[in-house]
Amino acid sequence: MSDARQFRPAVFPQIAYPRFKDKWVMVTGAGTGFGSTLAQRAAAEGANVIVHYNRSEDGAKRTAEVVESYGGKSKIFRADLRSWDQIKQMTQDVWEYSGGLDLLVNNVGDIATDQMSWRDIKEEVVDRVLAVDIKGTMLMVHENGERMLARGRGAIINIASTVVVRGSPRAPQYAAGKYGILGITKSYAAAFAPIVRVNAFGPGFMETESTLTREDWNNGRRERVLSQTPMGRVPPPEELAAAALWLGTAEASHMTGNFIMCDGGYSMIGA
């Protein structure tokens, strides 16, 4: 699938009180999908945005163009987050360029899109998913959080998933990877407190291009998800972006080590 098919500029209402005015926000995996939407929403709220990508260069460029259309600065960086060396180099370059991040959003995740059943599991896919979701997220938190801690401020949001509550019979390694993000979040939240806050956000199903073009989504899964969602709809990513970024604002100043979900009640659980 080309970047062009996956990229769609987000549409946001006029924001009277931008929460990230003149802040530096970095979003990983911002060339496509939810990552691109998060970057655009941050820009709509006054942020300068670091756009990270690994393979979606064209999408990253389009995201950066939208960011700049809101009046903020933007810079694109590439790195394979399975490599600590590449993470180290990128982090150094990002901090030198920006003067320091105020918010890091670890959005990158490998969801094993082509795997339709647990019966189709392959070792190389397990290794890839866990390397991106757990290793990559942890090392991004480690490298950037250490710098935030030394500077005396900052916040980190790790994008998890509702699969940590419901599991994933389609791709158990994906659920394991996202569940690992909760351990990373809580561990570094305790290590960095009270200077740097670290929280996790769990989006439910969204109408991203990767979801809309999946085989299972178009063969009954959408209808099953809708039937189990109290809110009765699958929203576009724009509807979830503001909720995710809220964790990085002063309004959430007493929240760290937490995991919040935004899925229309799909994963509703008891106390």
Task: Return d(Cα 196, Cα 228) in angstroms, integer.
Answer: 37
Checking phi first, is residue 3 left (phi over 0); if not, alpha (psi -120 to 50) or beta?
Answer: alpha
Q: Which domains does the chain have, with CATH numbers?
A: 18-259 (3.40.50.720)
How long a stretch of residues is the chain? 271
Based on the number of CB atoms within 10 Å of its own CB, is 96 exposed (0-12), middle (13-18) or buried (19 or more)?
A: exposed
- Residues of the chain short of pLDDT 70, as ranges, are 1-8, 13-14, 16, 112-113, 208, 210-217, 269-271
The DSSP line for 112-144 is -TT--SGGG--HHHHHHHHIIIIIIHHHHHHHH
C-alpha torsion sign, points 28, 29, 35, 39: positive
Hey, what are 132's tokens?
């991106």
Secondary structure of residue 159 in the 3-state scheme: strand
The predicted-structure confidence for 188-233, as pLDDT tens digits, reads as follows 999 999 999 999 999 887 776 766 666 666 777 778 777 777 787 8
pLDDT at position 6, please?
55
What pLDDT, on a 0 to 100 scale, did the predictor assign at position 271? 45
Q: Is 174 a catalytic residue?
A: yes
User: Residue 214's pLDDT is what?
Assistant: 67
DSSP secondary structure, 52-74, as one string: EESS-HHHHHHHHHHHHHTT--E
Closest to 104 in 3D by CA, of 37, 49, 155: 155
Active-site residue (options: 70, 174, 179, 266): 174
pLDDT, residue 46, reads 95
pTM as predicted:
0.88
